[in-house]
Amino acid sequence: MENLLITILLTSIPILLAGLGELVTEKSGVLNLGVEGMMLCGAVAALGSVLIFGNPYIGILFGAVAGILISTVFSFFTITLMTNQVATGLGLTIFATALTGLIGEPFVGKTAASLPKLEIIFLSDIPYLGKILFSNDILVYFAIFLIFFIHFGFQNTKIGIIIRAVGDNHDSAHSIGYSVKLVRWMSTSFGGMCAGMGGAYIPLALTPHWSEGMTAGKGWIALALVVFASWMPIRLLIGALIFGGITILQFVAQARGWDVPSQFLNMLPYLATILALALISFKLRHNNYAPACLGKHFLGNK
Amino acid sequence: MYKNFLKIITFLSILVSPFLYTSAYAKTKVGFVYLTTPGDHGWTYAHELGKQMVKKEFGNDVEISIVENVPEGPDATRVIRELAKQGNQIIFTTSFGYMEPTLKVAKEFPNVKFEHMTGYKRTKNVATGNIRFYEGRYVQGVVAGLMTKTNKIGYIGAYPISEVIMGINAFAQGLRSVNKKATISVIWANTWYDPVKEADAAKVHIAEGADILAQHTDSPAMLQIAEKNGALGFGQSTDMGAFAPKAQLFASVNNWGPYYIKKIKQLKDGKWNTGDGPDHWAGNTWGGLSTNMLTLSSFSNMPSDVAKKAQEAHDGIKSGKLKIFAGPLKTNDGKEIIGAGKTLDDGALWGMNYYLEGVTGKVPK
């Protein structure tokens, strides 16, 4: 049971990280559908750098930088050239899928070093909880720290409030002197960094491998999660754990011989995504969780 | 000057072209279609090793074209047709899912020979070749039965098709020949190659208490997870010891080279045929340990008495003394398949849609 819970937690880390990044991006009013592509870039950069330098921590760094770099392509098109965000985001994913396939070709079939587990003294000795929560690798701790960092950042810091202002009403934010484009560039880059790290986590901790398209839809799940969590970081954690749980559950059900078709179980994470999106979009008409300027262009000199 | 130069080039090329033509004509053009890249270090890598043996055997007498990463389905049809158009005389399609695409293109190019690996449908110009993978899995079962401490074996299958199911059942027969208490639980990945999924399935098996893992998927991910968690397992298609030096007990190794060489030689001599033997299901070629189309890598991470038992099982199958599916056989829900003294024939193997004793759960419909 303990091992299963750890597996679920680790499986949900990539979507949690990518989801947190996308949450910040969307809060600033930018809808980046390229999460899947940015995760792939992070994954291939992480694995490649670990193979070259031999240190998994370097992999995190390269994954993050790769995510930022590819997100600036998106920023340049959508924020500076003001192209359609949905089309550009989809294009980014398709582009990145092929690009990472090309870059990753020499890494196929090679094994990279994994992130070591860091046991926190005293806390890791707590029965059950200690093993599940306090003897993980650094990115798990980082992801959990990031949840609270973003939560308090949006509530209590000036930068957080500026980002929210830009996302909710860019004209007002502009009129009181904030640079809407700069804030959006930075938020999109932050999203890219997190997606890159989320992607990096897959080869660094889950399976020490590169294979083409290895994120296998996790980016899309992360996107759905942001809506599912109604742009709240703590709800995002719950959502990520549910999705991670369903992913693992499909295997557990088979191993224990539950009489459910495996194809149905395979479908579950995606079914849950669609359901979440449908439910939320129904609910959206009655609330104002979504940033009001999400997906809208800022024309600047208006 | 420039004009003259062009003239000379044109003249020379006209002069040389008949020789180019004849030298190209003597070459046999051979095409290969791969499911993934040889870098999978499993299924496709085994085919790549076979291709290298072809190259070594024929040298400049063959011209080999390869297309990697071809998804099963409409894309495969396009790729195979393209290879046929380019003048390849014999085309090896190396995955089960290329069956219909191969047949479709074969109809359009009656003069090209097609070799579909692991399929069972043949026509005038489509032959099939396959390996008795299940023979290696019996030996795996013997080793698993002797090595397991928890009596739980975790098995990762690709798709619930007879090819995979007969492997699980052969494993169960080997397992129960030495250990009646151990059971196999099966997780279907619903893919041949997806390292992340294979790793997830392996983690769940270990979390559920399995200490020996076996796979019928293509990547070394399962063994890597076993290595990390102190479990043991078997390599697939090629020796995966480099990925898991402390976890791999041995690997069943697919040896396609001799088959490819035989078929290309037949073609060169004008004797290529689909060899429709009396046994429809077996196809013209279904080779195993006895014909060296399947070999086992060296036994490691096990005590010598276990290795000895494994060697005995290997030798028994190779010589034909040991019958893997000899009666009495019962399904895991108690139905009798055959009584004592009888043995399942090849046709019955291809019709397997049930688990034998020792496997838990049901075959998905």
Query: Chain B contacts of A11, Cβ < 8 Å?
Result: 200
Query: Residue B107's pLDDT is what?
Result: 93
- Please give the ipTM for the structure prediction: 0.83
Backbone angles phi, psi at B311, to 5 degrees: -60, -40
Does residue A187 contact residue A23 with C-beta atoms inside 8 Å? no
In angstroms, the separation between the Cα of residue B319 and the nearest Cα of chain A is 35
Q: Which CATH superfamily is domain A2-111+130-284 in?
A: ABC transporter involved in vitamin B12 uptake, BtuC (1.10.3470.10)
pLDDT at residue B20 is higher than 60: no
How many CB pairs (< 8 A) connect A and B? 101
Partners of residue B286 on adjacent β-strands: B130
Query: Chain A contacts of B360, Cβ < 8 Å?
Result: 257
CB contact under 8 A, B208 and A256: yes
CB contact under 8 A, B40 and A4: no
Does residue A230 contact residue A94 with C-beta atoms inside 8 Å? no
The greatest distance separating any two alpha carbons of chain B, rounded to the nearest whole angstrom, comes to: 90
CB contact under 8 A, B207 and A4: yes
pLDDT at residue B22 is higher than 50: no
Q: What percent of chain B has pLDDT over 70?
A: 90
Give the C-alpha separation, A28 to A88, whole Å.
17
Query: Residue A217's pLDDT is what?
Result: 87
CB contact under 8 A, B208 and A255: yes
Give the C-alpha separation, B155 to A224, whole Å.
33
In angstroms, the separation between the Cα of residue A214 and the nearest Cα of chain B is 7
CB of A206 less than 8 A from some CB of B: yes
3-state secondary structure of B244: coil
Query: Chain B contacts of A209, Cβ < 8 Å?
Result: 195-196, 199, 219-221, 224
Give the C-alpha separation, B193 to B198, whole Å.
8
| Strands, E assignment, chain A | 118-119, 135-136
Q: What percent of chain A has pLDDT over 90?
A: 51
In angstroms, the separation between the Cα of residue B47 and the nearest Cα of chain A is 15
Per the prediction, chain A carries an average pLDDT of: 88
Does residue B148 contact residue B179 with C-beta atoms inside 8 Å? yes
**For B283-303, what is the HEC assignment?**
CCEEECHHHCCEEECCCCCCC
Query: Chain A contacts of B185, Cβ < 8 Å?
Result: 254-257
Partners of residue B184 on adjacent β-strands: B153, B359
- Asked if the bond preceding A14 is cis, omega within 30° of 0, the reply is no
CB contact under 8 A, A206 and B199: yes
| Residue B282 confidence class, pLDDT cut points 50, 70, 90 | very low
Nearest C-alpha neighbor of B163 from the set B118, B128, B199, B200: B118
Nearest CA in chain B to A260: B364
From B188, B195, B207, residue closest to A209, measured CB to CB: B195
Residue to mutate among A103, A251, A267, with most B CBs inside 10 A, is: A251
> Looking at residue B336, what DSSP letter applies?
E
Lowest mean per-residue pLDDT among A44-53, A123-132, B26-35, B134-143: A123-132
Q: Mean pLDDT over residues B194-218, rounded?
A: 93
3-state secondary structure of A134: coil
Nearest CA in chain A to B200: A248
Considering the segment(s) B133-253+296-350 as one domain, its CATH architecture is 3-Layer(aba) Sandwich (3.40)
Query: Chain A contacts of B160, Cβ < 8 Å?
Result: 262
Partners of residue B216 on adjacent β-strands: B157
Lowest mean per-residue pLDDT among A204-218, A258-272, B101-115, B345-359: A258-272
Determine the distance from the C-alpha atom of residue B362 to the mean position of all C-alpha atoms in its chain, rounded to a whole number. 25
- As given in the structure block, the two tokens for residue B245 are 């030096």
How many CA within 13 A on the CB side of residue B171? 31
Query: Chain A contacts of B364, Cβ < 8 Å?
Result: 261-263
pLDDT at residue A198 is higher than 90: yes
Nearest CA in chain B to A246: B200
Q: Find where tokens 């997100």 sit.
A: A71
pTM of the model: 0.84
What is the CA angle B105-B217-A139, rounded to 5?
A: 125
Lowest mean per-residue pLDDT among A92-106, A184-198, A266-280, B250-264: A266-280
CB contact under 8 A, B37 and A208: no
CATH numeric code, B2-131+256-290? 3.40.50.2300
Q: Is B39 left (phi over 0), alpha (psi -120 to 50) or beta?
A: alpha
> Looking at residue B187, what DSSP letter applies?
E
Q: Mean pLDDT over residues A98-127, rounded?
A: 83
Segment 230-259 of chain A within 8 Å of chain B by CB = 247-248, 251-252, 254-257, 259
b/e map of A122-143 (b: 16 or more CB within 10 Å)? eebeeeeeebbbbbbbbbbebb
- As given in the structure block, the two tokens for residue B353 are 């849609």
CB contact under 8 A, A211 and B195: yes
CB of A214 less than 8 A from some CB of B: yes
Q: Specify burial of residue A267 (Cβ count, 10 A radius: 0-12, 13-18, 19+).
A: middle
Q: What percent of chain A has pLDDT over 70?
A: 95
List residues of chain B with CB under 8 Å from any CB of chain A: 37-41, 45, 69, 154, 160, 185-188, 190, 193-201, 203-208, 210, 219-221, 224-225, 228, 243, 360-362, 364-365
Q: DSSP H helical segments within B158-220, as ranges?
A: 162-178, 195-207
From B185, B190, B198, residue closest to A255, measured CB to CB: B185
From B69, B186, B207, residue closest to A7, measured CB to CB: B207
3-state secondary structure of B194: coil
Give the C-alpha separation, A13 to A143, whole Å.
7
Partners of residue B93 on adjacent β-strands: B33, B116
Per the prediction, chain B carries an average pLDDT of: 88
DSSP for A43-71, written as a single string? HHHHHHHHHHH--HHHHHHHHHHHHHHHH
Q: Mean pLDDT over residues B154-162, rounded?
A: 92
3-state secondary structure of B235: strand
Instruction: Domain ranges for chain A, please list them.
Output: 2-111+130-284
pLDDT at residue A281 is higher than 80: no
Q: Which residues contact A101 (CB under 8 A, 6 or more apart)?
A: A212, A213
Chain length of chain B: 365
* Segment A56-76, tens digit of pLDDT: 999 999 999 999 999 999 999
Give the C-alpha separation, A18 to A200, whole Å.
10
Nearest C-alpha neighbor of B113 from the set B121, B102, B100: B102
CB of A111 less than 8 A from some CB of B: yes
Backbone angles phi, psi at A211, to 5 degrees: -140, 150
How many CA within 13 A on the CB side of residue A113? 16
Instruction: Domain ranges for chain B, please list them.
Output: 2-131+256-290, 133-253+296-350
Query: Chain B contacts of A212, Cβ < 8 Å?
Result: 69
CB contact under 8 A, A257 and B187: no
- As given in the structure block, the two tokens for residue B213 are 């893992």
